[in-house]
Structure 1
């Protein structure tokens, strides 16, 4: 099970653009290009951090290396 995180770039905390939630689960997402896939070089494509809103499931993508993730303890209830 994915661990909940909060995220920020510099002093700006990330919020879901759909529901304004501030807790996410994260995963690496490949930014595939058709040219690289055609040449069997998909492994060389750039990747981004996908933040999946814990509340509504909306996905935000960040290629900014300044994105910082902070672990969160979710309520058990």
Structure 2
């Protein structure tokens, strides 16, 4: 099972839009386009960082490369 992480953009810490938790599970997400799928070029489509809320499961997507992930302290 994935370990929880915290995330930030510069000085701003990210919290869940739904439940306000600050713990997430990180996953890469492919942003497929219609053209890429049509011509078998989906491998070239852009990727995003997916942060899945540890508490409620809401998925947040970030294409900003400045996002930083931080190991969450053990509880």
Please give the alpha-carbon distance, in whole angstroms, between the structure 2 residues aligned to 1:16 and 1:74: 20
Partner of 2:24: 24
Cα deviation 1:11-30 (Å, max 9, x = unaligned): 00000000000000000000
Runs (5+) with no aligned partner, structure 1: none
Please give the alpha-carbon distance, in whole angstroms, between the structure 2 residues aligned to 1:73 and 1:53: 16
Query: How far did 1:72 drift?
Result: 1.0
Cα deviation 1:25-47 (Å, max 9, x = unaligned): 00000000011000000000000
Superposition TM-score, scaled by structure 1 size? 0.94
1:1-77 superposed matches below 5 A: 1-75=1-75
In 2, are the aligned partners of 1:53 and 1:59 still within 8 Å (CA)?
yes
SS of residue paired to 1:18: coil
- Runs of 4 or more off by more than 3 Å in structure 1? none
